[in-house]
Structure 1
Amino acid sequence: MKIRKIYLGLLSVALWAFSACEKDEYDGLTDPDPIPAAAITFPQSVEANGVARMEDNAYIIKQNSIAAGQISVQIKVPEGRTIQELTSVTGQRFRSPAPTAPNYSPTVASTAANLAPNAPITRNTAGNLPTTLTGAPGNMVTYTLSLANLPAVLSDAQMPTVAVGDVIRLFFRVRVDNTQQEQRPLEVRVYITG
């Protein structure tokens, strides 16, 4: 009985100590990046039902970029918050097999011939694209890449020009409000429909 009381007492102290810990701004071991201070969304990923299309933790945007001559991604935070700048943009282009409508699930290619650059990127890969925004600072800004001057990192000998079925994979690191803290990198996949 005495051992049981000691055990319960130690267990209570341990539980109290863990519950007294402040929640810091990190997820812990699985995700050391800062938790976003403001919800960042991508309005172009919203489907007809009003819900953003997300697959593989990436926002999916279907875009007629070839006809428009550019790839553009709108980035938004709630009213009262302000996107100051993009601190980093990492991009990759890949060829995706044609998806069957109504599902668009561009899966990252596994062969170097279908990737530009040839090595797969992750959200922790160093930025390799310009960080210029239109409309910053503001609660909604636009990131644009011209297809006429496509950055070299998104073009190679196997894929010199953008074609229908290509996917531009982008990781954005955003600075919101007047803080120096970057938001967690968010992935967007722009599926080229025409």
Structure 2
Amino acid sequence: DYVNGVEVEDFSPVSGYGAAVDLGAVYRLNDDWEFSASLLDLGFISWNNNHVASTNGNQQVVTDEYTFNVDNNDSWDEFKDNLSMLYQLEDLGDTGSRTSGIGATMNIGAQYTLPVYRRAKFGFLNTTRVNGPFTWTDFRLSANVEPVKCLSAGVNFGVGTFGASFGWIVNLKVPGFNLFVASDRTPCKLAKQGVPLNSNANVNLGMNIPF
């Protein structure tokens, strides 16, 4: 609705083509050390038609409607119409085909099994996403323990482009399914109300049914 000259119904179901491969390898040095590396999403995508639309300069809206009634639909419509003027786009036409990479992910890891207690394992993982200005990297240390066959737990600490994070998981495994509770990001500093400070947080609950 905000780009003149582009008709969605005229697009072909096949807009282009692409291909990607995943590569990986694991090397076991001995009973204690194991190393791994992988390169994921190594490929490209090519679009047959590349339509470009741009705001083509600065946009300005002048209005004296600073207040409105939230219960009045007409007020909402006027407010949205004013805001829509900020992102009116000008169709610059079809610039032809375009080919680009899809962004590859590189993983390098190592795992150490504790000789005196084989049920405890420690790991290191570096994940780097290579995608131009959206490239990011993450270094992570982890520890996992499985005291009995039906119960396992793990903790990890990471630092990278998006800052530091701390995560954990507890996994209950019984015949036919397993239950887990985990967190990728655990806040270390909370307000009096329990709200995380300078960090985000999440908790995941799930059940897996293996076949």
Superposition TM-score, scaled by structure 2 size: 0.22
The structure with the greater share of residues assigned to strand is 2
Structure possessing the higher relative contact order (Cα contacts under 8 Å, 6 or more residues apart): 1
The structure with the greater share of residues assigned to helix is 1
Q: Which structure would you say has the larger Rg?
A: 2
